[in-house]
């Protein structure tokens, strides 16, 4: 999807450059502005969809119950009295 936004933006910028080169700013600039706005809205929609999917993923992760074995507890939370850390 990001490639489509890049292509539309490049096309819009090319229209702006062409309008200045050929003096048809009356047509080229408004069309370019519309294309740039469309590309921005497209990108905004894509980002909001991604954010929504990440939020849904986080909610599903919160619902899952993780059960640790005794070995997991030893590995994840080591006994500080046996720790060889200098502190």
Residue 25 included in any domain: yes
Residue 71 included in any domain: no
What is the predicted pLDDT for the residue at 63? 83
Residue 78 included in any domain: no
Q: pLDDT tens-digit profile of 55-74?
A: 999 888 888 877 778 887 77
Domain ranges, residue 43 = 2-61
| Residue 34 parent element (H or E) | helix 25-63
How many domains does the chain divide into?
1
Q: pLDDT tens-digit profile of 11-51?
A: 877 877 776 676 666 666 777 788 888 888 988 999 999 99
């Amino acid at each position: 999807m990001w490639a489509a936004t890049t292509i539309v933006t490049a096309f819009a910028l090319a229209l702006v450059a062409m309008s200045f080169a050929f003096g048809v700013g009356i047509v080229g600039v408004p069309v370019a502005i519309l294309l740039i706005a469309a590309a921005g809205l497209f990108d905004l929609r894509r980002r909001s969809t991604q954010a929504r999917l990440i939020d849904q993923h986080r909610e599903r992760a919160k619902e899952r119950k993780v059960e640790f074995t005794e070995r997991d507890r030893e590995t994840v939370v080591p006994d500080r009295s046996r720790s060889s850390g200098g502190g």
